Structure 1
Amino acid sequence: MLIFNFKSFKKNFFNYWKFKIFNFWLYLYLFNYLYFYYKFKIINFKYYYIYF
């Protein structure tokens, strides 16, 4: 019984971390996309003083 509970716990734990890592990478990807998009826009329209 103890081994069975441990296995299920391990499975849930790893699923949870997979989900967290996936969210983390998704967040990074979106952040980079927005950052480069705005950077490109700023360079495109020559608004150098808005450059963060």
Structure 2
Amino acid sequence: MRSDTDLVDKVFNDLRWDLGVDNDAIAVSAEASTVPLHGIVGSLREMRAAKKSL
């Protein structure tokens, strides 16, 4: 099992390399291996792309 810090790093890096997501608009956190994303996206497509990073 990955630590929360490892999970945040992985999701953040996945978002950073996904050209369909404005990663500056999305905050990534983790608690007890749950990774919620917070922020505002410009479209449903962008929201789906961000969710795929989880």
TM-score interval for Structure 1 and Structure 2 normalised by the shorter chain:
0.3 to 0.5
State the structure with more CA Rg: 1
User: Which is strand-richer, 1 or 2?
Assistant: 2
TM-score (norm 1): 0.32
Structure with more helix by fraction: 1
Relative contact order (C-alpha < 8 Å, sep 6+): which is higher?
A: 2
